[in-house]
Amino acid sequence: MSTLLTSVDAKTNKLASESKPEAEAIRRILRSLEGLDYGSVEIVVHDGKIVQIDRRQRSRFTQPLPVPPSR
């Protein structure tokens, strides 16, 4: 992912000189993807503009974790 971020960062720097809001949106989306092994990033758009970015991270276990009995 680091190589992807470096490549995209170079492109967003070029984009930043043309249109700062779009470059910032791309940076925020990429930041949401950093370190995400399992999960999703949802981008909410209203009237053609990004208004929200949600990140959901999942944890996967190779062995089921014990759950204490309920009272």
Domain boundaries, the chain: 2-57
What pLDDT does residue 4 have?
A: 57
Stretches in the chain below the pLDDT threshold 70:
1-18
* Phi, psi of 48, deg, nearest 5: 75, 10
What pLDDT does residue 47 have?
A: 96
What is the value of pTM for the model shown? 0.60
Tokens of 8: 């995209």
Q: Which residue has the tokens 């070029």?
A: 14
Classify 55 in phi/psi space as left (phi over 0), alpha (psi -120 to 50) or beta: beta
Q: How far is CA 56 from the centre of its chain?
A: 9
